[in-house]
């Protein structure tokens, strides 16, 4: 029985390789941080991690995790509503709500689960979900699991969003869904205009702050801070796996009735394990840290400005952004792959992205800045880009 299927899979895998889109894992033999050691012993500077606040190897978070391991054990062996809720889980939910200025929060094992479990309990066939075309895969999957009518608008295109809102007026409830920051261009969703349209066409708003929380806005509260619209969106989803320590975990935070309904009906919450106590405890410590001081957020913003300005001044074509994602546009797929390979030889680890991850002819290298980077790291990265850019005739 298996031999036919095996042959089929092998052919498909060979096709992926032939198309040049086969994903390999690069093995890191050190903690996640600015300077990492690879399995071959080489040391490189890491510019492709989502470790925006530099907390993935934080002593303070590691200590909080170790302490919680002693006081609260290793694992929960339960979903939340049976025997998987400790004081730590409730406290973390409160901290997240406090951070975003929302009413209540529900934790998940990942943001993928938060998005997977948010639509189906809330929206039915009488309702409409109006989703940005570049939203994260987990939003797309979550919408698929839900019976609501689906509308899609072109990325951050407010003319198209208005058109879809008009088309959806017959439905009972409307929910506009967008990423706060889109991961490929690093562009920020135009939340002010989305809010205007939501008010005009009687729609609610959900924003996924996975790439924007901790990053965007003066104190890192995300796009609702940047656009000064706290408590004006009904639903925020986010991850603990990026800026907020990088371990694991996701959340939905927002209006209390919405969160209450998710606790009753959201399948990834009802049927999947609680996050481990050490992750909850480190999360609590993390929110205390970013509440008390703005040092990390300030450093990230300073690093981002420094890097973007220098890269523009040496002649690179950079997508404008308020996030910590810097898309260095090269347009050609092979050029982007070779450019990234040459940068690795210079000790800079970045990823080249091309079709189908980004539109055809829009190949680029994505650089992700972090509060973990020091100026010397940024300078080394810019020098390597400049050297390779000149060698490959990208800049003069």
Ligand X SMILES: *Cc1c(COP(=O)(O)O)cnc(C)c1O
Q: Which one, of 232, 190, 231, lies nearest residue 212 by Cα?
A: 190
Site for ligand X in 152-181 (CB under 6 A): 179
Annotation marks residue 255 as catalytic: no
Measured between alpha carbons, how far is residue 313 from residues 299, 304, 326, 349 in Å? 21, 14, 14, 22
Among 46, 178, 183, 303, binds ligand X (CB under 6 A): 183
| Sequence-distant contacts of 383-391: CB under 8 A, at least 24 apart | 384/343, 384/346, 384/347, 384/348, 385/311, 385/314, 385/316, 385/328, 385/343, 385/348, 386/314, 387/346, 388/339, 388/342, 388/343, 388/346, 389/314, 389/315, 389/316, 389/339, 391/342
Catalytic residue selected from 89, 95, 211, 377: 211
Query: Of the two residues 152 and 380, which places its CB atom closer to ligand X in the complex?
Result: 152
Query: Of the two residues 179 and 225, which places its CB atom closer to ligand X in the complex?
Result: 179
User: Which residue stretch of 23-31, 109-117, 252-260, 345-353 sits at the interface with ligand X (rule: CB under 6 A)?
Assistant: 109-117
Q: How far is the CB of 51 from ligand X (least distance, A)?
A: 12
C-alpha to C-alpha distance for 211 and 213, rounded to whole angstroms = 6
Annotation marks residue 242 as catalytic: yes
Annotation marks residue 183 as catalytic: yes
The yes or no reply on residue 241 touching ligand X (CB under 6 A) is yes
Give the pairing of strands 348-349 and 325-331. Answer: unpaired
Among 116, 250, 283, 389, binds ligand X (CB under 6 A): 250
The yes or no reply on residue 210 touching ligand X (CB under 6 A) is yes
The yes or no reply on residue 138 touching ligand X (CB under 6 A) is yes
Sheet (strand 348-349) strand order: 35-37, 43-46, 348-349
C-alpha to C-alpha distance for 55 and 66, rounded to whole angstroms = 15
Rounded to the nearest 10°, the torsion over CA 124, 130, 132, 136 is -10
Q: How far is the CB of 249 from ligand X (least distance, A)?
A: 7
The yes or no reply on residue 208 touching ligand X (CB under 6 A) is yes
How far is C-alpha 293 from the chain's CA centre?
23
If binding means CB under 6 A, how many residues of this protein chain bind ligand X? 14
The yes or no reply on residue 110 touching ligand X (CB under 6 A) is yes
Q: How far is the CB of 226 from ligand X (least distance, A)?
A: 16
The yes or no reply on residue 112 touching ligand X (CB under 6 A) is yes
C-alpha to C-alpha distance for 122 and 220, rounded to whole angstroms = 28
The yes or no reply on residue 51 touching ligand X (CB under 6 A) is no
Among 49, 61, 107, 111, binds ligand X (CB under 6 A): 111
Query: Of the two residues 135 and 164, which places its CB atom closer to ligand X in the complex?
Result: 135
Tokens of 327: 């898309």
Q: How far is the CB of 282 from ligand X (least distance, A)?
A: 15
Query: Of the two residues 233 and 388, which places its CB atom closer to ligand X in the complex?
Result: 233
The yes or no reply on residue 105 touching ligand X (CB under 6 A) is no
DSSP run (H or E) holding 338: helix 333-345
User: Which residue stretch of 107-115, 142-150, 163-171, 374-382 sits at the interface with ligand X (rule: CB under 6 A)?
Assistant: 107-115
How far is C-alpha 78 from the chain's CA centre?
27
The yes or no reply on residue 211 touching ligand X (CB under 6 A) is yes
Among 72, 80, 136, 373, binds ligand X (CB under 6 A): 136
Tokens of 317: 């074509």
Query: Of the two residues 115 and 252, which places its CB atom closer to ligand X in the complex?
Result: 115
Query: Of the two residues 287 and 316, which places its CB atom closer to ligand X in the complex?
Result: 287
In terms of Cβ atoms closer than 10 Å to its own Cβ (0-12, 13-18, 19+), residue 269 is buried
Give the angle 241-246-252 at the CA atoms, nearest 5°: 30
Catalytic residue selected from 72, 89, 136, 242: 242
Place of tokens 């092979």: 334
Query: Of the two residues 239 and 323, which places its CB atom closer to ligand X in the complex?
Result: 239
The yes or no reply on residue 278 touching ligand X (CB under 6 A) is no
The yes or no reply on residue 239 touching ligand X (CB under 6 A) is yes
The yes or no reply on residue 301 touching ligand X (CB under 6 A) is no
Q: How far is the CB of 172 from ligand X (least distance, A)?
A: 27
Instruction: Give the chain's count of helices (H) and strands (E).
Output: 15, 13
Residues found near ligand X in the complex (CB under 6 A):
110-112, 115, 136, 138, 179, 183, 208, 210-211, 239, 241, 250
The catalytic residues are: 183, 211, 242
């Amino acid at each position: 029985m298996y031999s036919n299927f095996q042959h089929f899979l092998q052919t498909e895998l060979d096709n992926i390789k032939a198309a040049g889109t086969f994903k390999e894992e690069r093995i890191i033999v050190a903690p996640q941080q600015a300077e990492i050691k690879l399995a071959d012993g080489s040391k490189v500077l890491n510019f492709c991690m989502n470790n925006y606040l530099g907390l993935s190897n934080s002593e303070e978070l590691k200590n909080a995790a170790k302490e919680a391991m002693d006081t609260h054990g290793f694992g929960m062996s339960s979903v939340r509503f049976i025997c998987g809720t400790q004081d730590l889980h409730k406290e973390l939910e409160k901290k997240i709500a406090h951070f975003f200025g929302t009413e209540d929060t529900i934790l998940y094992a990942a943001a993928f689960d938060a998005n997977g479990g948010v639509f189906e309990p809330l929206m039915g066939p009488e309702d409409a979900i109006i989703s940005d075309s570049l939203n994260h895969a987990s939003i797309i999957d979550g919408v698929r699991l839900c019976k609501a009518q689906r509308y899609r608008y072109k990325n951050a295109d407010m003319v198209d969003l208005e058109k879809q809102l008009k088309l959806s007026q017959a439905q009972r409830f409307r929910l506009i869904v967008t990423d706060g920051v889109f991961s490929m261009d690093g562009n920020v969703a135009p939340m002010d205009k989305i809010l205007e349209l939501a008010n005009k066409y009687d729609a609610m708003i959900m924003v996924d702050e996975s790439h924007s929380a901790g990053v965007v806005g003066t104190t890192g509260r995300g796009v609702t801070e940047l656009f000064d619209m706290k408590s004006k969106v009904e639903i925020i989803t986010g991850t603990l796996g990026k800026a907020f320590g990088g371990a694991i975990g996701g959340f939905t935070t927002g209006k209390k009735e919405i969160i209450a309904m998710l606790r009753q009906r959201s399948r990834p919450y009802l049927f999947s394990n609680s996050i481990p106590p050490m992750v909850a405890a480190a999360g609590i410590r993390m929110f205390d840290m970013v509440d008390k001081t703005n040092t990390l957020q300030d450093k990230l913003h300073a690093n981002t400005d420094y890097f973007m300005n220098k890269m523009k001044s040496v002649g690179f074509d950079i997508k404008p952004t308020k996030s910590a994602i810097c898309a260095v546009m090269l347009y050609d797929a092979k050029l982007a792959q070779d450019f990234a390979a040459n940068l690795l030889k210079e000790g800079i680890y970045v990823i080249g992205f091309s079709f189908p991850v980004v539109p055809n002819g829009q190949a680029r290298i994505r650089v992700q800045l972090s509060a973990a980077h020091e100026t010397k790291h940024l300078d080394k990265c810019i020098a390597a880009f400049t050297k390779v850019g000149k060698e490959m005739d990208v800049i003069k």
